[in-house]
Each structure stands twice: as structure tokens, then as C-alpha cells.
């Protein structure tokens, strides 16, 4: 399996898209519908209605790349947030691609102290 650079921003489009769209159509969707820069150091994630396919669009120095994953019998567990676009970490994207429910993945609570006793 591939690994993306951990410094990459990841934006997940919540709504299903027409999966006939390729690089030009997805780049236009990123720019015009999401209001984001398709040339930024970011990965833009899209899913189909059945949630058995994912496309990831990115820009690298001199051109776009497009990844497409199709599941044979399972479904991706799409985040249940209401936002139109959800920002993920690269680690969360890899979890999504592996079929892990992101809502079930929780780290320890952050503890902040004012001073050491």
C-alpha cells in the first residue's frame, strides 16, 4: 500500500459525486464548489453514492495525480459530520481507506495544567 506525506492537508467531500468525473472535473469541483485551491499541497477525497469507491485528487509539482480505490464487497465508513468538507489527517485518510470507522477512533483526552505541583 502507498503512504502519503504526513504533512499533506486532506479534505474529504461529504456528498457523493458523479464518478465519471476525472482530473479536470474534480479539479473544477475543488475550486468552484469547495472554494479550495486544487494546486495546494493537499489531497481531495471523493466518494460515490454506494460508498464502495473513492477517488483522491492531488497536485505534485508539475501535474495532477488521481488515485481510485474500488472495494469488491465492503463499503467505506464515511464520517458522519454535517460539514460539506471535512478536514482529515493523513493518518485518518489511511484508516478510512482500510475500512476503519473514524468516529470509533479516539485518542486520549488532552490534559493541560497551569503549573507543576
CB burial readout 92-107, b (16+ within 10 A) else e: bbbbbbeeeebeeeee
Q: Rounded to two decimals, what is the model's pTM? A: 0.85
Do the beta carbons of residue 57 and residue 66 sit within 8 Å? yes
Q: What is the pLDDT of residue 32?
A: 95
Residue 92 pLDDT greater than 80, yes or no: yes
CA-to-CA distance for 14 and 21, rounded, in angstroms? 16
Q: What is the pLDDT of residue 6?
A: 82
Q: Kindly write down the DSSP assignment for every residue of 51-93, as one continuous string.
A: SSEEEEEEEETTEEEEEEEE-SS---------SSEEEE-HHHH
| Residue pLDDT, tens place only, 30-79 | 999 999 999 999 999 999 999 999 999 999 989 999 999 999 999 998 88
Q: What is the pLDDT of residue 104?
A: 77
Amino acid at each position: 500500500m502507498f503512504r502519503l506525506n504526513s504533512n499533506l492537508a486532506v479534505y474529504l467531500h461529504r456528498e457523493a459525486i458523479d464518478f465519471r468525473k476525472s482530473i479536470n472535473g474534480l479539479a473544477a469541483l475543488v475550486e468552484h464548489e469547495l472554494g479550495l485551491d486544487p494546486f495546494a499541497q493537499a489531497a481531495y477525497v471523493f466518494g460515490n453514492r454506494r460508498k464502495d469507491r473513492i477517488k483522491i485528487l492531488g497536485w505534485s509539482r508539475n501535474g495532477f495525480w488521481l488515485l481510485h480505490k474500488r472495494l469488491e464487497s465492503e463499503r467505506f465508513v464515511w464520517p458522519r459530520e454535517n460539514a460539506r468538507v471535512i478536514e482529515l489527517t493523513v493518518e485518518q485518510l489511511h484508516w478510512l481507506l482500510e475500512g476503519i470507522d473514524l468516529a470509533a477512533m479516539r485518542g486520549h483526552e488532552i490534559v493541560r495544567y497551569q503549573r507543576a505541583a
